[in-house]
Amino acid sequence: MKMDHKIKLQFAHEEQIARVTLVAPKANILDQEMVHQLIDTLDQLAGHTNLKGIVLAGEGAHFSFGASVQEHLPEQISNTLLDLRRLLLKMGAAHASLIAAVRGQCLGGALELALTCDLIFAEESAKFGLPEIKLAVFPPAGAALLPLRIGAGRAAEMVLTGETWSAARALSIGLVNRVFPDGELEAHLDSWLASNFLPRSSAALRFAAEVGRRPWIQILERELPVLESLYLDDLMEHGEAVEGLQAFLEKRQPSWQSKEAVSSPVTAK
């Protein structure tokens, strides 16, 4: 069966800027097929030594609604988490600065993807959130990366409530670097790149980005496997997690019947 093309790669400014677009509107769901294609695209871009910036965007009205809920069911979740970790670490090894260009919804796994970008630019109506708690699960990569961007307290609020935050709030707390009027994101971003990236050395930009990524790469390498183990070995053994996911897929209210306490192996040492 022929695989759909879910990633579009384009170049601008004499191939100094690459634009990587998620192409599965309207939701641009970050399923395993799209994740694999993103990894392949980043491998392809590694050969472009003159590259100064990689812009990650979504086709249509939204950046992405996030990962596939179907792929979070018990029989698939292990591969889903492993593939996402591979992608995020591949982002960390990118040979150019990464910029997420966000319009519309940027939720769940899509926000985790944006968090591995060096910069996040957004339109005024963009929305950001980690809604996993509403499905009785949590976002391992988001929980690991978000505190570096906005601090532990605000990160806990987003993870624990599943609230969706506006671009204005995201800008005020440092989650987003720039906010532009709706419909003007591409024009403003292109102008920004022309002023700030195109005149610079591609090698200098690459190494500066690598230095900036070191803290979160270390967290992904050290802490993310621990959080994934908690998710897979403890949370997914709890009936409420499966019920929350199934209820979402079946478009019904969940029924919380399990009252057992789940002890967490993640403790301070």
The CA distances from residue 240 to 131, 141, 263, 266, in Å, are 16, 21, 15, 20
pLDDT in the model for residue 106: 98
Residue 144 in tokens: 């690991």
Confidence at 47, pLDDT banded by 50, 70, 90: confident
Helix (H, G, I), strand (E, B) or coil at 107: strand
pLDDT in the model for residue 53: 97
Contact 23, 60 (CB under 8 A): no
Q: Where are the alpha helices (DSSP H) in 93-132?
A: 109-115
Confidence at 91, pLDDT banded by 50, 70, 90: very high
Q: Report the predicted TM-score, pTM, of the whole model to 2 decimal places.
A: 0.92
Q: Which amino acid is at 120?
A: I
Output Rg (C-alpha) for the chain, integer angstroms.
18
Which residue in 135, 108, 131 sits closest to 252, CA to CA?
Answer: 135
Mean pLDDT of the chain: 93
Q: Percent of the chain having pLDDT more than 70?
A: 94
pLDDT in the model for residue 1: 32
Asked if residue 265 has pLDDT above 70, the reply is no
Look at 2-11, 21-30, 46-55, 236-245 and tell me which has the smallest mean pLDDT.
2-11
Which residue in 27, 175, 11 sits closest to 105, CA to CA?
Answer: 27
Asked if residue 187 has pLDDT above 60, the reply is yes
pLDDT in the model for residue 259: 45
pLDDT in the model for residue 146: 97
Confidence at 258, pLDDT banded by 50, 70, 90: low
CA–CA distance, 226 with 210 (Å, rounded to integer) = 24
Confidence at 239, pLDDT banded by 50, 70, 90: confident
- Mean pLDDT along residues 264-268: 44
Homologous superfamily, domain 7-181: 2-enoyl-CoA Hydratase; Chain A, domain 1 (3.90.226.10)
What are the beta bridge partners of residue 179?
A: 122
Confidence at 262, pLDDT banded by 50, 70, 90: very low
